[in-house]
Amino acid sequence: MPGKLKAKIVAGRHLPVMDRASDLTDAFVEVKFGNTTFKTDVYPKSLNPQWNSEWFKFEVDDEDLQDEPLQITVLDHDTYSANDAIGKVYIDIDPLLCSEAASVISGWFPIYDTIHGIRGEINVLIKVELFNDLNRFRQSSCGVKFFCTTSIPRCYRAAMVHGFVEELVVNEDPEYQWIDRIRTPRASNEARQRLISLMSGELQRKIGLKVLEMGGNAVVGYLQCFDLEGESGLVVRAIGTACTLDKLTSGSAPSTNTALPTSSSSPPPFSPSKPCSRQSSSSDTDLSLTPKTGMGSGGSAGKEAGPLKTLLRQQTQTALEQREFPFFTLTSFPPGFLVHVGGVVSARSVKLLDRIHNPDEPETRDAWWEEIRQEIKSHAKALGCHAVVGYSESTSICEEVCILSASGTAAILNPRYMREGCLDTGSTDHRLFLSVPDVLFTTIDMPPEAAVTGKGCLIQARLCRLKKKAQGEVNATAISNLLPFMEYELHTQLMNKLKLRSMNALFGLHIQISVGENMLLGLASATGVYLTALPAPGGIQIAGKTPGDLNNEHHILTIQKRINDTIAKNKELYQINPPELTEELVGSPIPEPRQRSRLLRSHSESSDELSELDLSHGKKDAFVLEIDDTDAVEDIHSLLTDNSPPTGFYSCNTELMPGIYNWTSGVQMFTSVRVFRLIHANLTNQGLNKIFTDLCENLLKSFYFKLRSMIPCCLCHLNFTVAVPEEELIQVAVTAVAMTFDKDHSQEKSADKPTTKEQLQFPLELCADSSSSNNQPSSKISGTASVDYGSFADRCSTWLELLRLKAHTIRRGSVKTSRRTQSLAHSACIHAHTPPCMPPGVTVVKMTPLSFLPGTRIIKYLGIINMFFIRETTSLREEGGVSGFLHSFIAEVFAMVRAHVAALGGNAVVSYSMKECVLMENPNKNQAQCLINVSGDAVICVKETDQEPMPSTTNTGQTCSSGADGAT
C-alpha cells in the first residue's frame, strides 16, 4: 500500500543570530524523508524568514511512513565555509495514517538543537495520501490505533480484549561507535535521536502487525521503554493490550470509563459491605473481595461455594483453552471485567550484558523476558488465578549488569471478555464467593465497584543498601543475593505503614529497584485504603527479646503507646470508621482442611500434585513487630516519624483518590527532578536510608508548600522514578497532578482556621546563596529547625520574576536563549509558576498524567505522542548548575510536546508520563548530558456541556511551566 507524503515549509520566526557582522541569519531548510532530500531557497538576512515553498512530495511505501520521521533541518547559509546548523524538527507521520485521524499536520514547531536547546520556530504543513492496493503481504500496520492510557479510551467501546502484545528491537548505540574519531557532541546526539526515532517507529509497526493478526484494531496501555546498554547496544521495548475498539457517537460519548460489552446474565451486586457512597454504576456487577469469614453474607457463602467454584473452574478452563495465559497492561477496568483479585505477583532477574552472543540480535533479550513472564505466570497460578492485570516491565542498568523486573496483579477475569461472544452459563447468579488474604496488594487502580470506608493516602517504602564495587559475575552475584532481602524489607515497610494507618489494601503498587556502582535503591509507592469488604486490620503489638530488663520493657511500652496513639490519630485523619464487628469476625480463622482445595487446576493435574498456597492461615489481628536489634528500633522510629500531609492536602499514586468524589476543574500538573550528591566518604546503610527518605519526603513537602493556594487539594497519580546515574548521585524524578475538590461547609470552615504558614513548617534546608560558586546541594537534607517560609517565598519570588520571561516565551514558542535567565538556579530545585496574566490568544495545550481532564470529556484521540530528546552542555555552571540545566531542558520538552499536539489540532495531552530522565554529569569539566523520553495521548476535549472543542487559552491555575522542580 504505497503512499504520498507532501510537506510545505511556510515560514520561520525568532531564529538565532548566526552572522555576527549583520546580527542576522541567511536561513534555508532541508526536508528529508528516507533517502530523499529537498531544499528551500535561502532567505537572506532575516530572523523571521518567509519561504512559502512549493509542496515537496515523497512517494514511499506505507512501511516507511510508519518507520521514518519527517526530518526538517534549518541551516544558516555560508558562502565560503560549511553551512551552520541551527536546529532540527522530527515529525511523526503515524497520526495521519488512521482513518479517524487528522487530515493535516499544520503549525509552528520549535527548532531544537541538542547543544543550545530551542532556537526559534518553523511553520510546516504536512499531508499524507494512502493508496490501498489490498496487499495481503503488507509490512505496515496502518490503521491500528495506539493509546498510552491504561484504561479503555473514553470515547470508545471495547468490543473485545484480545490479550498481550510485546516486541523489542535492537541496534548499535551511535554513542559508542566513535572508535577512530573524536566524538563531536552534536553529531553523536543527533545520530542517537534519529536512530531512536526510527527504532520507535519500527517497533510500533511490528506491534501493530501482531494486533492485526489477532483480529484487533488498537493497542491500549502501550508502554514503550528504552534500555541504554552501553557498548552492548540500544534496545527499544514495548508492551500493550490488543483490543478491538468501536468508536462511540459524539452524542453518546460518556464522561466516565466506557464499559465493555455486557449481557443480560451479568452478575448482580453482592458486596457484603455497605454500599459505596459514589454514584451507582450502569453495570450491575460487583468485584469479589469477600474474606473467608464471609462478612455479612456468611450464611449463603457456605452453601453456594461448592457449585460456584465448580462453575468458575469450568469457565476458566474454557477461557484458557481458547487463549494463552493472558497478560494485560490495563490498570483500570469497566465493571464486570474483574471477577476476583488475587494479589501482586512479581519477578526479577540479574543479567550480564557482556554475555550476549550477538548484541545486534533480539533473541537473547526475548528469552530473558520470556523467563520473567513464565515466572509471573507460575506465581499467578499458585494464587489460583488465570490472568495478570496491571502488568509492567522495567530495567535498571549499571555498567554490564542489568536488572530485569516485571510485576502485575493476579486475577480471575470474566470469561465473556476473553473470546468472541458472551459465555452463556445457563445461570443468572454469578456470585463468586472467593477468598482473599486479610491484606490485599495490587498494581491496578481501585475498581469502581469496590466499597471504601474513609479516604486513602500515599504509602511509600524506601530502602538503600550499600554494596562493594565489583565487576562481571561477582557483581551480578552480589546483586542477586541482595534483591530478595530488599524486596522483603520493602514489603515489610509497606505492611507496617498500612497497619499503622489502619488500612487493609494497597492499589497502584509500583516497586522499583535501581542499581548503581556501590548501592541499590528501592522505592515502593502505593495508595492505601480501607476496603470495607476485607477484615478490619488488627493493631500492632511490639515485642522484645529481653522481657526481664525493666528499661527495655519501659522502652517497649513507650513505643507501643506511640503506635496506638498514631493509629487512633490516623483513623480520625482518614475518616476510617468501619462498622463494629464481633471479635470472632476480625482476622482470619484457620480454614478447615476441606476448604483448602485448590481453586483452579488444569485437567492434567491430579488432586495430590499441588497443595494450595494458603495465604490466610492463622489469626492476623495479632500483628507483632519484634525488636531484636538496632535496625529494628530504627525501622519503628522511621515508621512513626513518617509525616502525614498538612491539613487540606491528600496524596495518592492512583488516578483518583479513593473516598473523594466531588472533583472540580482546578488542575495543575507538575514535574520535579532532584539530583543529590553524596559527599560523605563513609556512609552506612542507616545513614543512606535517612538521606534517601529525607530526599523523597522533602520533595513532597515542597509540593505542599507550592500548591498551598489550591487547598483543599489532592496530589494524584504521583509517579516517582529513582536512579543512581553516577557513583555519588541519587536522582529522584516526580510527575503528578494537583486536583481540587469541594468540601462541605463545615469542613471548609475547619480547614480555613489554621494559617497556611503554621501548617507548612517543614524542616527543609534552604538552597545555597546566589553568590556561592558551588552549585551542588549539601549532603545534609534535613535541618534541625523549621524554616521561615516567609523569607523563603521572598527569595523564590525574586527568581520567578526573572524566569517569567523565559517561561512566557517558551509557551509562545518565541524563545530567545538568554544566559541571564538561565543562570539563576542555585539549588537542586527551581519552581516556575505561570504568569498570572498572559496576553489573549496565547495557546496552551493542557497536560495531565490522568486519562481525562476534570470538567471535560474527550471527543477525539489524535494519536500518541512519543518523543525522545537529548540535551548536552559544556557550560553547566553558566546555565545555573544541574538545576538550571534540567529546568530549561524540561521546559523545552513541554514546549515541543505542546507544539506537536497543537499541530495535530489537539488541545490537551492525557496519560502523560516522563518515562526516562537520564542525567550524566561531569562538574569538573563543566559538562552534563540528559536524555528524556515522554509520551501521552493527544486529544480534543470539550467542556461537559459543550459540543465544540475548548478554546486553547490559558487559565490561571490550570497549567504551569516546569523545570528541575516545577509545575506545568
Per DSSP, the three-state class of 272 is coil
pLDDT of 57-72, one tens digit each?
998 887 888 888 999 9
Q: Where are the beta strands (DSSP E) in 516-627?
A: 519-531, 540-544, 623-627
Q: Report the C-alpha gap between 415 and 320 in whole angstroms.
A: 9
Most confident stretch, 53-67, 627-641, 711-725, 835-849: 711-725
pLDDT at 259 over 90: no
Most confident stretch, 336-340, 618-622, 767-771: 336-340
Q: Report the C-alpha gap between 133 and 763 in whole angstroms.
A: 68
pLDDT band per the 50, 70, 90 thresholds, residue 95: confident
Res 1: pLDDT: 53
pLDDT band per the 50, 70, 90 thresholds, residue 558: confident
Cell 539549588 sits on residue:
827
Res 565: pLDDT: 87
pLDDT at 528 over 90: yes
Please list, residue by residue across 856-877, b when 16 or more beta carbons sit within 10 angstroms of its beta carbon and e when fewer do. Answer: bbbbbbbbbbbbbbbbbbeebe
Nearest Cα residue to 90 out of 105, 66, 73: 73
Res 133: pLDDT: 53
pLDDT at 834 over 80: no
pLDDT at 447 over 80: yes
Helix ranges restricted to H, 431-587: 472-500, 550-573
pLDDT at 484 over 50: yes
Classify 23 in phi/psi space as left (phi over 0), alpha (psi -120 to 50) or beta: left
* Region of poorest pLDDT, from 291-295, 464-468, 869-873, 911-915: 291-295
pLDDT of 263-289, one tens digit each?
333 332 222 233 333 333 333 334 444
Instruction: Say which CATH class 1-132 falls into.
Output: mainly beta
Instruction: List the chain domain ranges.
Output: 1-132, 436-741
pLDDT band per the 50, 70, 90 thresholds, residue 968: very low
Virtual torsion, Cα 65, 69, 74, 80, nearest 10 deg? -80
User: C-alpha grid cell for residue 649?
Assistant: 492536602
User: C-alpha grid cell for residue 459?
Assistant: 504509602
Mean of pLDDT values over 671-700: 86
DSSP string, 146-187: E---SS--TTEEEEEEEEEEEEEEEE--GGG--SSS---HHH
pLDDT of 211-227, one tens digit each?
999 889 999 999 999 99
Mean of pLDDT values over 291-303: 33
End-to-end CA distance of the chain: 41
pLDDT at 560 over 80: yes
Res 302: pLDDT: 35
Q: Report the C-alpha gap between 35 and 55 in whole angstroms.
A: 17
pLDDT at 952 over 70: no
Res 930: pLDDT: 94
Q: Report the C-alpha gap between 256 and 334 in whole angstroms.
A: 10
Nearest Cα residue to 138 out of 245, 244, 66: 66
Backbone angles phi, psi at 188, to 5 degrees: -65, -45
pLDDT at 921 over 80: yes
DSSP state of 708: G
> Is-contact 12 27, C-beta < 8 A?
yes
Res 755: pLDDT: 37
> Is-contact 201 66, C-beta < 8 A?
yes
pLDDT band per the 50, 70, 90 thresholds, residue 681: low
> Is-contact 92 936, C-beta < 8 A?
no
pLDDT band per the 50, 70, 90 thresholds, residue 324: low
pLDDT at 828 over 60: no
pTM of this structure: 0.79
Strands 908-922 and 846-847: parallel
- Taking the CA atoms of 636, 642, 643 and 648 in sequence, report the sign of the dihedral they define: negative
DSSP string, 422-463: ----S-S---------SSEE-SSPPPTTS-EEEEEEEEEEEE
Give the C-alpha distances (Å, rounded to integers) separating 692 from 122, 467, 644, 686, 703. Answer: 43, 16, 18, 10, 17
pLDDT of 164-191, one tens digit each?
999 999 998 888 765 556 778 888 899 9
Res 843: pLDDT: 56
Cell 474513609 sits on residue:
454
Mean of pLDDT values over 948-968: 41
Res 576: pLDDT: 87
Res 641: pLDDT: 67
pLDDT band per the 50, 70, 90 thresholds, residue 79: confident
> Is-contact 287 269, C-beta < 8 A?
no
pLDDT band per the 50, 70, 90 thresholds, residue 561: confident
Most confident stretch, 648-652, 723-727, 771-775, 795-799: 648-652
Chain-wide mean pLDDT for the chain?
A: 75
> Is-contact 901 941, C-beta < 8 A?
no
Mean of pLDDT values over 608-616: 45
Mean of pLDDT values over 784-808: 42
* % of the chain residues with pLDDT over 70: 68
Mean of pLDDT values over 624-633: 62
Give the C-alpha distances (Å, rounded to integers) separating 677 from 515, 591, 685, 726, 780. Answer: 16, 52, 16, 9, 10
Per DSSP, the three-state class of 910 is strand
Looking at per-residue pLDDT, the higher value among 310 and 918 belongs to: 918
Per DSSP, the three-state class of 569 is helix
